[in-house]
Amino acid sequence: MKSLPRPFDSLLITSVTDGAYYVNDLFGRKFGGSAPDYGHSVVCFFRKDSSTFMPLCYVHYHPYDEVILVGGGMTDGKVFAHMDNALSSSIRDSGGIFYHVLKFGFDHFKDQCEAFFGYAGDKRAYEVDLKAGFVPTQHQHLIAHFHKPVSESQRVELIEKVHALGSF
């Protein structure tokens, strides 16, 4: 597992193998199904004490040809009840944990794709997506993050290719 500098001492954002193992219960509560068992998982763990790590946030990164599809983002609000008020306030004031997990994934997977795409139907998640670096496309709910230079024709081609997938 690779981790980057942590924004908070008691949180660890990292890519994990078998993300469903860590977040399947949360995924079921949020989306009514099982977490994906393919692609890459990034999880933020809250360290309650030296032997208790709780999954706080999850985002799925799925390679698709030359892009990565980003989805399944969720935060477990119940975990915040285990934090002191100063930590939860600091997380909120810094943009929220979903923001930090997205930024981690953009950096962690930047050399593995030409762009990241998301499909954001939730207004609150959409606002965080934009703060993290996604931009709207001409297609409703489809957002893109072009983290490296691409020509305008390649940009259009990638957007249309991902749009043809429908929601993901």
Residue written as token pair 């929601």:
167
Tell me the β-bridge partners of 142: 119
State yes or no: pLDDT of 4 exceeds 60: no
Handedness of CA 21, 98, 79, 53 (dihedral sign): positive
- For each of the domains in the chain, give its residue range(s) and CATH number, in order of start: 11-163 (3.40.630.30)
From the list 143, 123, 150, the residue with the least C-alpha distance to 71 is 143
C-alpha to C-alpha distance for 147 and 163, rounded to whole angstroms? 19
State yes or no: pLDDT of 6 exceeds 80: no
**pLDDT digit string, tens, across residues 35-63:** 999 999 999 999 999 999 999 999 999 99
State the pLDDT at residue 9: 85
Classify strands 67-75 and 115-119 as parallel, antiparallel or unpaired. parallel
State the pLDDT at residue 8: 84
Cβ–Cβ < 8 Å for 95, 125: no
Tell me the β-bridge partners of 57: 44, 75
State the pLDDT at residue 1: 44
From the list 63, 61, 59, 67, the residue with the least C-alpha distance to 31 is 59
Distances (CA, A) of 57 to 1, 74, 149, 165: 17, 6, 30, 26
C-alpha to C-alpha distance for 69 and 61, rounded to whole angstroms? 6
**pLDDT digit string, tens, across residues 67-125:** 999 999 999 999 999 999 999 999 999 999 999 999 999 999 999 999 999 999 889 99
Cβ–Cβ < 8 Å for 3, 12: yes
